[in-house]
Every structure is written in structure tokens, then in C-alpha cells.
């Protein structure tokens, strides 16, 4: 299956209840289908649902700025979400919705074959690491998972909603730039154990605050 065929197979998807809860369209993903760096967020918001592309609202503008700050452009990366349909009123995804959509995210990763997947916020990080961890505990670190590396980062929406997180988010991108420079110099992706993130038993919100 190609990336285009996967996208077509999800057009007007009816596999979970979000199909009947007000979504306008499936938001599959956008960017370079052969990108070496992929960013994964939580779920589409209002503007994403209307335009059919992830990260096109205020958080998307901030993400674009931060990507450019490390010498990249949106055309060089790929952007997707764990959930492909907007939850009503931008509520948190529910377990059955994540379970339904996660295989499609993993298929996207398998088809794009990025070397690095930057998970934005708790939902994306926990989905890809398959661990209940707080983003504040693992952000700015690299974890080897399957055939790629996960690099957890704060979600841009967190910085917009909580001003105190703007500098930590920019710090995450500075660490990402350092990591990418090291990888480029070594001409290989170093690996780090995914088993090391601390366990988190308490309920966390989207941004790990």
C-alpha cells in the first residue's frame, strides 16, 4: 500500500464514533512523503477540520516558526496526528478512538520511513512510546522505538495557552537542532533505550502539567 492509497482508504472513515460527532473531514497528514523528520500531534482542531490539514491554526503557525528556527521548512517534514478526526469541542481523545486510529499512524510512519518522529504533547508521546509517561519528564530526549527514534516535545498549543511554557518549547527545538547536528555529523541515528522513561500512574492532561 502507498501513502496515497492509505489516505484514500480513510476518506470518509466510519470506523469510530467520531465520524458521527460533527467532524467535517478526515485530516490525514501533509508534507514530504519521504521526509526524514515527522511531527505527530494529538488530533485536528477547528481550523484543521475545516481545511483538511494538521496544524494550520495558531499552534500550526507557531510550529512553522519553530521548524524554521532550526533551518527546516514545512515542505521538508511530514506532519500528522494520532487521531484523524476532530473530537467534539476539542475534547481529549478517548481510548477507543486512539486504539482505532493508532494503526493508521503506524502505517503512515512505516510508509514514510522517517528516521526521527517528534511527538508533540502527552497523547502523541504516550501513543508512540506505549508508556504512560509525562511529557515534562521525557521532553528533549531521544528514544529508539521500532525502526525510528521518538523525540518528545511540548505541544505548541501548550505554549499558547500557558505562556510559561513558551521558553521550554523553544528549548525543545534547540535540543532537537543539537541532536540533528550530532546525527548529521555521525551519519547515523544514535539509539537510546525506550524502557527508561519514568512511570506515571497519575492522570495527566494533554500537556503534562
Pairing of strands 116-119, 37-41: parallel
Q: What is the pLDDT of residues 94-134, one digit of tens each?
A: 999 999 999 999 999 999 999 999 999 999 999 999 999 99
- Domain boundaries defined on the chain: 3-186
DSSP 120: B
For the chain, the maximum distance between any two Cα atoms, rounded to a whole number of angstroms, is 49
Residue 200 has pLDDT above 60, yes or no: no
Cell of 147: 525502526
Q: Over the chain, what is the mean pLDDT?
A: 90
* pTM, full prediction: 0.89
Q: Would you tell me how many other CB atoms lie within 10 Å of the CB of residue 81?
A: 26
pLDDT for 20-50, tens place per residue? 999 999 999 999 999 999 999 999 999 999 9
Q: What is the spatial distance between Cα 179 and Cα 194, in angstroms, rounded to a whole number?
A: 17
Task: In whole angstroms, give the CA distance from residue 129 to residue 207.
Answer: 16
The CATH number of 3-186, from 3.90.1150.10, 3.10.180.10, 3.40.50.670, 3.40.470.10, is 3.40.470.10
Amino acid at each position: 500500500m502507498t501513502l496515497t492509497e492509505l489516505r484514500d482508504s480513510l476518506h470518509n472513515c466510519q470506523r469510530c464514533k467520531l465520524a458521527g460527532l460533527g467532524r467535517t473531514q478526515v485530516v490525514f497528514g501533509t508534507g514530504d512523503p519521504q521526509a526524514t523528520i515527522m511531527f505527530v500531534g494529538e488530533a485536528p482542531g477547528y481550523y484543521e477540520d475545516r481545511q483538511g490539514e494538521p496544524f494550520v491554526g495558531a499552534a500550526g503557525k507557531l510550529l512553522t516558526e519553530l521548524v524554521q528556527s532550526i533551518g527546516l521548512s514545512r515542505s521538508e517534514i511530514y506532519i500528522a496526528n494520532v487521531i484523524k478526526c476532530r473530537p467534539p469541542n476539542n475534547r481529549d481523545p478517548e481510548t477507543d478512538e486512539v486504539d482505532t486510529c493508532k494503526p493508521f499512524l503506524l502505517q503512515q510512519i512505516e510508509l514514510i520511513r522517517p528516521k526521527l518522529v517528534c511527538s508533540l504533547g502527552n497523547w502523541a508521546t504516550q501513543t508512540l512510546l506505549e508508556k504512560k509517561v509525562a511529557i515534562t519528564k521525557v521532553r528533549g530526549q531521544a528514544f529508539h522505538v521500532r525502526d525510528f527514534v521518538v523525540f518528545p516535545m511540548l505541544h505548541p498549543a501548550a505554549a499558547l495557552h500557558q505562556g510559561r511554557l513558551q521558553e521550554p518549547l523553544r528549548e525543545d527545538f534547540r535540543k532537537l537542532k543539537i541532536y540533528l547536528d550530532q546525527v548529521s555529523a555521525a551519519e547515523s541515528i544514535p539509539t537510546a533505550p525506550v524502557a527508561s522513561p519514568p512511570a506515571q500512574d497519575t492522570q495527566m492532561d494533554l500537556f503534562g502539567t
